[in-house]
Every structure is written in structure tokens, then in C-alpha cells.
């Protein structure tokens, strides 16, 4: 028990009062006076000192009374302090009891923190770095590097990554001049990017190989790095996640406008050509496609189009939402579920509430958390009779409602599950000869139109050269962040 030093002092003071009473009121110690003229002695007379007559209280009586008051006061103070100590002890016990109950409840209903695992700190740092980005003006290359570098425990070099991107874009600009592409045309820039990624070519004596589709573990179930741009740049092969992101990173550095779009289990690139038509870039098989081919997958409902979860150009904020989703996905594959996943996915949903992939991860999180609670409570959620017992556990009911509400939201967004074999069959169908022929026609048409537009712009410049204007300084989104230096 905690010792109350105030009480101890008063106890000692009370003990001292019994052995040596201090002169608290300053009453003098009166001595009997001597009668200078004594009465004549008589054998029958009694001499009485008037000072000893009981006409008033003596000094001893006053001190005794005062001593009793002090002792009574001390006992009262001691009693009050003891009550205070008892109250504090009661509060402490209640707090400990509450904390133990809360700890027990957390163990039943929440995932254990994985913060003690090696490498999780790199994910926490990555979350903070993504959070520091301007949601409407950030570098796609930097955001993607932050996500992938977290998986590698922050061991990759951003300077090296950025240098490789810049060198590639330098080669692309040379190739554009070599083939007399309009370096100011957005359509020409995208056409050059498409050719670079889908065709073998030689640039200033350097041979470049087209990207290949990595059919082995293309969903990253065994090796999550199969999803990374880093792996694609190193190996020259990727899939529908890494290829479009690589395209966007190069487009950003080249100054081309392009967008990421989604289809079931799939992502691809879109840009507008010189005739103001949207062109779909399918990098997994190196083809230009149209909306009809995307819809042929058979897994896109009208609700999905209305809610813009598929075939929609992602803006910067929606794209950043996907980077948070990728960060959470990498964490799950490497460590599992805990509160970091919850925090990261909620951030993704805050930026883009209809992000179908973020909603699916949140649904999996809620379901997994409910199943964990059921396991800890000894209830089989797949047994209807046993499941009725959750009515005795309000927190379990809350978790089940959360999981059901998220499932309902995903269904209302228009999502329909697409099996892997159906996805693989759809990708293969794109390689049909008539689709290849159509892709070549789109590419040739773009080349002709781009050349015609370039010629028209050149003639217009000859007739009326534009007045020189001071260029406004553009935001330097590709500057190396101080965190990487």
C-alpha cells in the first residue's frame, strides 16, 4: 500500500503531545506568591494560599483541554486521509479490472498487432510518406516507389529508379525524332509509348525488347513482387498490374496524358487521340482495343458502369487511393491482418469511396475479424444453431453487421466475381486474328492522323508565329524527395 506521509507526520505529532505538551497558547507557568505579613500562628488555624483557590481554571486544565482538541483534530484528519486512500485504492482496482476486461475483449475481437515483426516499420513509414503527398499533384513514380520499397524494407534506391526512368524517356524522345513523330502531340507520345512497350526496336544502336506477359503466378499468390514495376523493369516481364503502372510512370516523365482504368481482375491504359476518341491500351498482349472487347468479359454489370468502378479514367485522387490499397495488399501478403490494414484501407476509401479493390479488402478484413471472434468464443459461424449464440455477445453482432454491410455495398456497386479461368479465357480471346488486325488499323490510323495534324500545326506556325510568352514554372513533381536523399 502507498504510504501517506502527511498522515504519518500527524501521528508522530500526536504521540509527541502525550509526552511533552507544548505551550501553544503562551500561558505563563504561575508560581504561588509568598505573604510577607503572615497571620499569627495558631495551632487551630489553617494557612491557605489564595493562588491555589479554585476560583478559575488552572494552566494545567487549559493545556489538557487544548491537548484533547489537537488529538481529536489529528484523529479526524487521519480518518479522512484513510478514507481518501481507500477511495484511491478502490479506483485503482476498478481501473485495473476495466483494463483487464478491455484487454480480454481485444484479444477476443481484435487482431493482434504485428508491429514486432521485422519490416513492418517500413510500411508505417510508407503510409506517412503517402499521406504527405499532395492528393492532386504528386509524382506517380514516387508514389509507386514508396509502396514497392516498403515491401523491400526500404532497401531500394529512389535515385536509381528515377535515373532509369529518365534514361528510358530520353531514348523515347530520340526515337520520336528519328521516326518524325510530333513531340508536342499527346497522341504521338502515347503511340510512341505503346510501340516501345509492345514492339522490339532499336534506338540509337541500342536494342530494346518488348515487354512480355508473365503467365507464371501472374496474381502474385506465391511471390507478391510479381505485381511490381521494379520486377518488370529488371526482368522485362510483368502483368496487368505492373505494366499499366509502368506506362503511367513513363507517360508522366514524357509529358503525355494517360489514365489508368479497371475491368474485372484487370487494369489497362486509356488516352485520347487527335480525333478526340478514347483509345484503350492493352499491354498484356500489346494491342489497341475498344470498349466492346472490355465488355466481352461478361462480368461487367450496368451498375458497375454507373458507379464507375470499371472503364472509368482514374483521376489523381482515385489513383492515390489505389496506391494505399496496394500498400495494404502488400502488408497482408507479407504479414497478415492487423490495425494497419484497417487504417490504410480506410484512407483509401476516404479518397475514393467506390474503389472496388479497397472495398473488397475491407470486406475481407471484416469477415476475418468476425471469424477470429467466433473462434475465440468457441462458436462455429457456419452452424446456424451455434450462430444464434452470438446474441449473447453484442460486439460479435456488431462485427457481423459490419461484414454484411460491406458485402452489400460491394454488391450494390455492381461487382461480380470473375473466376481465374474465365479471366484467362478472356485475355486469350483478345489475341484473335481479327482483334490483332483491328489493333493494327487503329495504330496506322493514329500515325496518319498524327502526321496530318503535325503538318497542319507547322503550316499554321509559318503563317502566324506565336508571340513568345514567359513560361510559368510547372510544379516539380519529379524532384527527389528529401526523404530519399
Alpha-carbon distances of 460 from 118, 451, 452, 463, rounded to whole Å: 62, 14, 12, 5
What pLDDT is recorded for position 53?
Answer: 42
Written as one string, the DSSP assignment of 115-181 is TTSTTHHHHHHHHHHHHTS-TTS--HHHHHHHHHHHHTTT-S-HHHHHHHHHHHHHHHHHHHHHTT-
More confident site: 118 or 74: 118
Nearest residue to 127 via CA among 398, 419, 330: 330
Residue 166 confidence (pLDDT) above 90: yes
Q: Where residue 433 falls among pLDDT bands split at 50, 70, 90?
A: confident
| CA separation for the pair 373, 130 (Å, rounded) | 32
Provide the pLDDT for residue 105: 74
- pLDDT score recorded for residue 47: 42
Task: Tell me which residue of 164, 144, 145 sits closest to 155, measured CA to CA.
Answer: 145
Cβ–Cβ under 8 Å, residues 146 and 421? no
Name every residue whose Cβ is closer than 8 Å to that of residue 370 and which is 6 or more positions away in sequence. 381, 396, 399, 400, 402, 403
Write the pLDDT tens digit of every residue in 372-425.
999 999 999 999 999 999 999 999 999 999 999 999 999 999 999 999 999 989
Taking the model in full, what pTM does it have? 0.77
The whole-number pLDDT of residue 479 equals 52
Residue 58: pLDDT band by 50, 70, 90 thresholds? low
pLDDT over threshold 80, residue 484: no
Q: What is the pLDDT of residues 208-230, one digit of tens each?
A: 899 999 888 888 899 999 999 99
Residues 12-26 have a mean pLDDT of 38
pLDDT at position 456 is 86
Q: What is the pLDDT of residue 270?
A: 97
d(CA 178, CA 201): 12
Weakest mean pLDDT among 29-38, 396-405, 427-436? 29-38
Question: Which pLDDT does position 8 carry in this prediction?
Answer: 37
Q: What share of the chain is helix, strand, coil (3-state, %, to 5)?
A: 60, 5, 35
Query: Averaged over 163-186, what is the pLDDT?
Result: 93
Predicted local distance difference test score (pLDDT) of residue 457: 84
Residue 23 pLDDT > 80:
no
pLDDT at 469: 54
429 has a pLDDT exceeding 70? yes
Confidence of residue 101 (pLDDT cuts 50, 70, 90): low
DSSP state of 271: E
Average pLDDT, stretch 232-251?
Answer: 96
Q: What is the mean pLDDT of the chain?
A: 83
The least confident of 24-38, 77-91, 142-156, 159-173 is 24-38
pLDDT for res 24: 34
Phi, psi of 26 (to 5 degrees): 70, 30
Q: Is the pLDDT of residue 63 over 70?
A: no
Instruction: Write down the pLDDT at residue 419.
Output: 94
Place of cell 506556325: 461
What are the beta bridge partners of residue 207? Answer: 202
| Of 301 and 26, more confident | 301
Helix (H, G, I), strand (E, B) or coil at 185: coil
Of the pLDDT bands very low, low, confident and very high (cuts 50, 70, 90), residue 461 is confident
Contact status, residue 267 vs residue 241, Cβ threshold 8 Å:
yes
Lowest mean pLDDT among 117-121, 315-319, 429-433: 429-433
pLDDT of 203 above 50 = yes
C-alpha cell recorded at residue 308: 464507375
Amino acid at each position: 500500500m502507498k504510504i501517506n506521509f502527511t498522515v504519518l507526520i500527524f501521528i508522530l505529532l500526536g504521540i509527541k503531545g502525550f509526552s511533552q505538551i507544548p505551550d501553544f497558547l503562551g500561558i505563563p507557568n504561575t508560581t504561588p506568591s509568598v505573604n510577607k505579613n503572615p497571620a499569627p500562628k495558631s495551632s487551630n488555624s489553617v494557612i491557605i494560599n489564595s493562588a491555589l483557590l479554585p476560583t478559575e481554571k488552572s494552566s494545567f486544565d487549559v493545556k489538557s483541554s487544548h491537548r484533547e482538541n489537537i488529538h481529536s483534530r489529528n484523529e479526524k484528519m487521519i480518518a479522512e486521509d484513510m478514507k481518501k486512500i481507500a477511495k484511491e485504492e478502490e479506483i485503482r482496482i476498478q481501473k485495473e479490472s476495466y483494463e483487464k476486461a478491455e484487454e480480454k475483449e481485444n484479444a477476443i475481437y481484435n487482431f493482434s498487432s504485428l508491429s514486432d515483426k521485422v519490416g513492418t516499420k517500413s510500411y508505417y513509414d510508407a503510409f506517412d510518406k503517402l499521406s504527405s503527398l499532395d492528393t492532386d499533384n504528386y509524382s506517380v513514380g514516387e508514389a509507386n516507389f514508396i509502396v514497392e520499397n516498403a515491401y523491400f524494407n526500404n532497401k531500394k534506391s529512389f535515385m536509381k529508379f528515377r535515373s532509369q526512368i529518365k534514361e528510358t524517356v530520353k531514348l523515347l524522345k530520340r526515337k520520336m525524332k528519328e521516326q518524325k513523330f510530333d513531340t508536342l502531340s499527346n497522341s504521338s507520345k502515347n503511340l510512341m509509348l505503346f510501340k516501345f512497350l509492345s514492339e522490339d526496336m532499336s534506338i540509337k544502336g541500342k536494342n530494346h525488347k518488348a515487354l512480355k506477359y508473365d503467365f507464371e503466378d501472374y496474381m502474385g499468390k506465391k511471390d507478391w513482387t510479381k505485381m511490381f514495376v521494379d520486377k518488370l523493369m529488371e526482368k522485362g516481364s510483368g502483368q496487368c498490374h505492373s505494366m499499366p503502372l509502368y506506362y503511367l510512370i513513363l507517360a508522366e516523365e514524357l509529358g503525355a496524358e494517360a489514365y489508368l482504368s479497371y475491368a474485372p481482375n484487370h487494369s489497362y491504359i486509356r488516352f485520347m487521340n487527335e480525333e478526340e476518341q478514347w483509345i484503350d491500351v492493352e499491354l498484356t498482349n500489346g494491342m489497341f482495343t475498344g470498349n466492346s472487347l472490355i465488355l466481352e468479359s461478361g462480368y461487367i454489370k450496368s451498375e458497375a458502369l454507373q458507379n464507375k468502378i470499371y472503364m472509368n479514367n482514374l483521376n489523381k485522387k482515385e489513383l492515390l487511393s489505389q496506391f494505399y490499397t496496394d500498400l495494404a495488399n502488400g502488408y497482408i501478403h507479407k504479414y497478415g491482418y492487423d490495425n494497419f490494414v484497417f487504417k490504410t484501407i480506410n484512407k483509401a476509401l476516404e479518397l475514393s469511396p467506390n474503389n472496388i479493390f479497397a472495398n473488397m479488402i475491407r470486406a475481407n478484413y471484416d469477415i476475418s475479424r468476425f471469424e477470429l471472434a467466433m473462434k475465440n468464443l468457441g462458436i462455429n459461424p457456419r452452424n446456424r444453431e451455434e450462430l444464434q449464440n452470438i446474441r449473447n455477445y453484442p460486439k460479435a453482432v456488431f462485427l457481423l453487421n459490419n461484414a454484411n454491410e460491406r458485402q452489400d455495398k460491394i454488391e450494390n456497386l455492381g461487382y461480380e466475381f470473375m473466376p481465374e479461368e474465365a479471366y484467362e479465357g478472356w485475355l486469350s480471346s483478345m489475341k484473335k486474328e481479327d482483334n490483332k488486325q483491328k489493333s493494327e488499323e487503329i495504330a496506322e490510323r493514329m500515325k496518319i492522323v498524327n502526321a496530318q495534324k503535325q503538318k497542319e500545326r507547322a503550316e499554321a506556325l509559318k503563317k502566324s508565329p506565336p508571340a513568345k510568352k514567359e513560361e510559368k514554372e510547372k510544379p516539380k513533381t519529379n524532384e527527389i524527395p528529401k526523404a530519399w536523399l
